[in-house]
Amino acid sequence: MNPEKRYQLLKRWAIETLDSSQIEINPINSDASFRNYYRVSDHSGTTYVIMDSPPDKENNEQFIFISELLTKMEIPSTVVYAKDLSMGFFILSDLGPATLLDRNMDTRIKTKREKLYTEAINILLLIQKNGNNFVDQLPVYDLELLETEMNLFLDWYCIKELGISAAQLNEFNLGKCFKYLSESALKQVQVFAHRDYHSRNIMISKRGELGIIDFQDAVLGPITYDLVSLLRDCYIELSENEIRHWLEVVYQRLINENLLHISYEKFEVDFDLMGCQRHLKAIGIFSRLKHRDGKPNYMKDVPRTLGYLKKISKKYDVLEPLHNFVNSTHLQ
């Protein structure tokens, strides 16, 4: 369907659903999916977010399902007020005008960063604790999915973006590292995992309250996955001191909540290795967004994400093939 025609249908549906002819619709930055978002104000001044999510490209049923689970879990997150599944039109709660990334970028508010990350971690731990009653309703982050995600790095970044041949890749024996990373993830405690818990998916309201979006890919997955997504964020780099501080805080709270029964040293290793899997996947997705979806802007975040891989792969002998590859002339 022509984009302009689709927009007019969306606007007409919103006017009818909100029962108001006097509404103002303003576009919001789109995300890495095929969805488009708009902020709308009705005649009373109440704001909502309208989501245009093409049903042939997005799993809208799963979005609704996870939204309902999070509401039951008492997680501050997007609420669906109205929907037209046949068209992929939604009216959602407005969680705020800014993201955690926006606040990190605003030098005037950096003094509040610790408070914001404290709340983000509180919500994450609440997801893991309250989610225990619902994990049997989630897809499983299994071996096949873990390896498929890491292969995005090979297919879209190494081969498509950099032009490295499959024969050249085979020389580095990256499969050995991928297998080890997958096995490490599967051995961790498995919890309710948002699976994209980073600064762009944490909204901040005008009153400073945090809310979670983009949760439709939630799975039963490793306990460190969402934490490393937040602390070794592809979109902004925290200091090592900040990362260690939050890692220690979360570890102690997980121990206190009886969700974890390993040493801190083992927890840190699990965190590091999970981050490698996550960052391989992310670089592959950024490259796919450029080459398949015509969204090249995400490539600016590759150097930061690649930097995490260089730093962590250096710490572990078993990741030597990965370390050699990310520091090779192929990636210079």
How many Å from the N-terminal Cα to the C-terminal Cα in the chain?
42
Q: How far apart are CA 195 and CA 274, in angstroms?
A: 12
**C-beta of residue 134 within 8 angstroms of C-beta of residue 114:** no
Quick one: 98-331 is in which CATH superfamily? Aminoglycoside phosphotransferase (APH), C-terminal lobe (3.90.1200.10)
**What sign results for the dihedral spanned by CA atoms 43, 48, 52, 55?**
negative
Instruction: Render pLDDT for 182-222 as a digit per residue (tens, 0 to 9).
Output: 999 999 999 999 999 999 999 999 899 999 999 999 999 99
Q: Give the start-to-end residue ranges of the domains of the chain.
A: 3-93, 98-331
- Token readout for 206 is 């005008």
Q: From residue 7, give the alpha-carbon distance in Å to each of 14, 48, 54, 180.
A: 10, 16, 12, 47
Cβ neighbours of 284 (radius 10 Å): 23
- Residue 225 is predicted with a pLDDT of 98
Query: In this structure, which amino acid lies at residue 146?
Result: L
Pick the CATH number of 3-93 from 3.30.200.20, 1.10.1060.10, 3.40.50.720, 1.20.1440.230: 3.30.200.20
Instruction: Render pLDDT for 279-298 as a digit per residue (tens, 0 to 9).
Output: 999 999 999 999 999 999 99
Low-confidence ranges of the chain (pLDDT < 70): 30-32, 106-111, 332
With vertex at residue 329, the alpha carbon angle to CA 298 and CA 303, rounded to the nearest 5 degrees, is 20
